[in-house]
Chain A
């Protein structure tokens, strides 16, 4: 049976790991290669690097990070953040990334997902979607979520379900779905959002944003119907180890890949 995946997400700026909440209070948290190797040894099922480097000139740094990580970490590596061309995807894949995650550039030009999927295969293309509840849904009534681009700063004027269906049709192999309402709160994933998107598409959905307790991960994987959970704060701050997370999920009856040493 397919195991539920636990995926640490590392925010990387100028080649260094940074921690922060909603893009503020960033502080240096070390070497991304060492951090990725640490999580790999702890039993992570994949690693996601989110490049939040502001300037285009410094983008080479992430390629270097991927290259060095791929020498020592033999689990899937995904890179997201600022990827806006097939050539850059190629560069990242050549350096050892297994998947690239597309967000803002795909909203601007949905053809980028298709071009990437045709050239490298759907398994390489992750569509990252940031969504926020609409005002209507937060005041009661039926739920709906709007998609945002530019790291959550710009409303894209699209409904999350409609966009999720479109990225699937364009050839994305997975959806990385972040709830902007839940992100950084530690109050739990937006399971309603996860479920509505999971039901709408046939490709796997990765839950992101809001993990604070072990129950939250379980809820995302059951009520939210997610295939995998992305976690940042609870891992980076040492609240739980991946072994603890997996043991908890396993006791609750979910299939997980045991931590190997």
Chain B
């Protein structure tokens, strides 16, 4: 039984996350089998594309309960990009694009997913700084404070807005400071792509690996 499962959300960056995780000596398997996910010691939940599409995929594959089970059990869980947005209560995205009244997420963290306001180039594409809100093992060895944090690679049009400040793990400036990393116990979410963020991203993934190892023993 493998300890780390990357959820097969059929997204384009699946292979990149797998390769980056392997590169930092993690030993992940890619799976969409609820049994394998429930038995995992830790989960990476990637996603790109549209919120509504991803949300319906998760429910069609019957992954909702095993994902929530993993989170509730306190197993290390890392949502990436849309995978982080799906942890939230709801998103504005579908209201705009498909006419569906509400787009519901997993509701593991209370808050909304909102579209960047008009006037900024959208999508927000490229390297931007992530300033950790407080010292945490996930950002160990990465910049914070005075120099505004380390650079990570972003590409997205929507951002998360947690209801509670205690869920904010990192912020990024794009016209205004938005939440680019979230936390709830061992549940983490990052809006950027650690698998495409060079040395800083690999460090974050390796830090996540360390968190898994520390919980195991």
User: Which of A96, A123, A227 interacts with B121 by CB under 8 Å?
Assistant: A227
Q: Is A249 an interface residue (CB 8 A)?
A: no
Name the contact of A74 in the complex, choosing from B49, B127, B128, B195 (C-beta under 8 A): B195
The answer to whether A1 and B125 touch (CB under 8 A), given A74-B198, A124-B12, A173-B155, is no
Q: Are A123 and B48 in touch, CB under 8 angstroms?
A: yes
Write the B146-189 contact mask toward A (1 if CB under 8 angstroms, else 0). Answer: 00000101011100000000000000011000000000000000
Q: Give the nearest-CB partner of B15 in chain A.
A: A96
User: Which of A2, A120, A174 contacts B48, CB < 8 Å?
Assistant: A120
| A93 contact set on B, CB distance < 8 A | 12
Q: Is the CB of B126 within 8 A of A2?
A: yes
Interface of A is mostly: loop
Q: CA A202 – CA B127 in complex, angstroms?
A: 18
CB <8 Å contact, A122 and B16? no
In the complex, are the beta carbons of B126 and A202 less than 8 A apart?
no
Q: A30 to chain B: which residues have CB within 8 Å?
A: none
Size of A's binding interface in residues, CB under 8 A: 33
**Could you tell me if A120 and B49 are in contact, using CB atoms closer than 8 angstroms?**
yes
Given contacts A45-B126, A75-B153, A202-B122, contact A94 B15 (CB under 8 A): yes
A199 to B32, CA, bound (A): 44
Decide yes or no: A257 and B127 within 8 Å by CB, A76-B153, A227-B121 being known contacts: yes
B190 to chain A, nearest CB (A): 15
CB distance from B212 to the nearest CB of A (A): 20
Complex contact B126–A3 (CB within 8 A): yes
Report Cα–Cα, A74/B151, bound state, in Å.
Answer: 13
Contacting chain A: which of B34-42, B64-72, B107-115, B199-207? Answer: B199-207
A75-B153, A95-B15 are contacts. A260–B127 as well, Cβ < 8 Å? no
Of the residues A5, A70, A204, contact of B15 by C-beta under 8 Å: A70
Question: Whose C-beta in chain B lies nearest to the C-beta of A203?
Answer: B121
A residues 48-90 near B (Cβ < 8 Å) are: 70-72, 74-76
16 A/B residue pairs, CB under 8 Å, sorted by A: A2-B128, A3-B151, A45-B127, A70-B19, A72-B23, A74-B16, A74-B196, A74-B202, A98-B16, A98-B196, A120-B49, A121-B48, A122-B123, A122-B157, A204-B123, A204-B125
Chain A interface (Cβ < 8 Å from any Cβ of B): 1-3, 5, 40, 45, 70-72, 74-76, 93-96, 98, 120-124, 173-174, 202-204, 227-228, 257-258, 260-261
The 3 lowest CB-CB distance pairs between A and B, nearest first, are A123-B155, A257-B151, A3-B127
Residues of B within 8 A of A (CB): 12-13, 15-16, 19-20, 23, 48-50, 121-129, 151, 153, 155-157, 173-174, 195-202
